[in-house]
């Protein structure tokens, strides 16, 4: 069975510092994608970054980078230079691209609070 | 601009009543999904559809029903059999197969419906 685990229910970080949000996954599929989403209090899901299972380089999108360690089945999100607006829930998700309808499997989320 | 529209944003239901949540997309996506989110929790898949007139149960389908009569629409009915329906419901869509050139890698989410049983 496929599973996403986020072990940090809540995290605090000082403004302008970097923070790492942990994500481990479990799947026997070889072809999959890993996603990170931000969910502010409004509830919308904001796409942050994507990593494909065959991508050799870690994905980066502005202040977001994904530390992909395939052998350890981890896909941690690194946010550099935290801003007050980064305070939100963050979800790691896995998409099994070529079967199971492309559905996303989500972790429990990490609530990030940025302190001024 | 293309996107997904969920309505209503807030919905109140009396116990024992069925209620239908609307989800419409104009992205020409083949696949659509319904997720449920409880406070402080991740999203759990209720139903998904890869093509018109076909859909599959997700992890928590009991007490819910769906239809996919049109490519653009995937309504979710929360029936009276759903024992704890108060939650935040999110609809999503994706191309099939996923388009990796898309900045969102093919997944688009609606803004959600908050359902409360009163």
Segment A57-93, tens digit of pLDDT: 999 999 999 999 999 999 999 999 999 999 999 999 9
Question: Which residues 51-110 of chain B have a CB within 8 Å of chain A?
Answer: 56, 58, 88, 90, 92, 94, 96-98, 100, 103-107, 109
Residue from A64, A78, A77 nearest A34 by CA: A77
What's the pLDDT band for B106 if we cut at 50, 70, 90?
confident
Residue B103 has pLDDT above 80, yes or no: no
Is the predicted pLDDT of residue A96 greater than 80, yes or no?
no
Instruction: Decide if A44 touches B, using CB distance below 8 A.
Output: yes
pLDDT in the model for residue B98: 65
In A, which residues are within 8 Å of B56 by CB distance? 101
CA-to-CA distance for B83 and B99, rounded, in angstroms?
37
Q: What is the pLDDT of residue A95?
A: 87
Contact status of A43 with chain B (Cβ, < 8 Å): yes
Residue A22: which of A69, A87, A58 has the closest Cα? A69
Q: Are A109 and B42 inside 8 Å of each other by CB?
A: yes
Per the model's pLDDT, the better-predicted residue between A63 and B1 turns out to be A63
Q: Is the pLDDT of residue A43 over 70?
A: yes
- Chain centre to alpha carbon of residue A10: 14
Chain B residue closest in CA terms to A49: B104
pLDDT band for position B101 (cuts 50, 70, 90): low
Q: What is the pLDDT of residues B13-29, one digit of tens each?
A: 998 899 999 999 999 99
With a CB-CB cutoff of 8 Å, which residues 65-94 of chain A face chain B? Answer: 91, 93
Nearest CA among A20, A21, A23 for reference residue A74: A23
Percent of chain B with pLDDT over 70: 92
Q: Output the pLDDT for position B37.
A: 97
Cβ–Cβ gap B43/A42 under 8 Å: no
Is A100 a residue whose pLDDT tops 90? no
User: Does A105 sit within 8 Å of B48, measured CB to CB?
Assistant: no
Report how far residue B108's alpha carbon sits from residue B1's, in angstroms, rounded to the nearest whole number: 13
Cis peptide before B97 (omega within 30 of 0): yes
Nearest Cα neighbor of A76 from A3, A2, A4, A1 is A4
* Confidence label for A98 from pLDDT (cuts 50, 70 and 90): low
pLDDT greater at residue A55 or residue A89: A89
């Amino acid at each position: 069975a496929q599973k996403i685990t986020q072990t940090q229910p809540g995290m605090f970080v000082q403004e302008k510092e970097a923070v790492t949000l942990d994500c481990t996954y479990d799947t026997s599929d070889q072809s999959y994608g890993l996603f990170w989403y931000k969910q502010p209090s409004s509830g919308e899901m904001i796409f942050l970054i994507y990593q494909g299972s065959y991508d050799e380089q870690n994905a980066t999108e502005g202040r977001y980078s994904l530390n992909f360690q395939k052998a350890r089945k981890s896909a941690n999100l690194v946010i550099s230079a935290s801003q007050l607006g980064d305070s939100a829930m963050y979800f790691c998700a896995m998409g099994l691209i070529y079967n199971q309808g492309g559905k996303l499997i989500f972790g429990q989320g990490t609530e990030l609070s940025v302190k001024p | 601009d293309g996107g997904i529209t969920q309505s209503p944003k807030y919905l109140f239901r009396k116990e024992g009543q069925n209620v239908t949540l609307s989800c419409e997309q104009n992205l020409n996506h083949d696949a659509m999904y319904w997720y449920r989110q409880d406070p402080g929790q991740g999203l759990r898949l209720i139903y998904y559809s890869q093509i018109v007139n076909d859909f599959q149960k997700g992890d928590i389908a009991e007490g819910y029903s769906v239809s996919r009569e049109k490519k653009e629409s995937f309504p979710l009915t929360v029936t009276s059999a759903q024992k704890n329906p108060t939650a935040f419901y999110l609809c999503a869509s994706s191309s099939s197969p996923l388009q990796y050139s898309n900045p969102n890698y093919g997944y688009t989410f609606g803004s959600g419906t908050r359902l409360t049983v009163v």
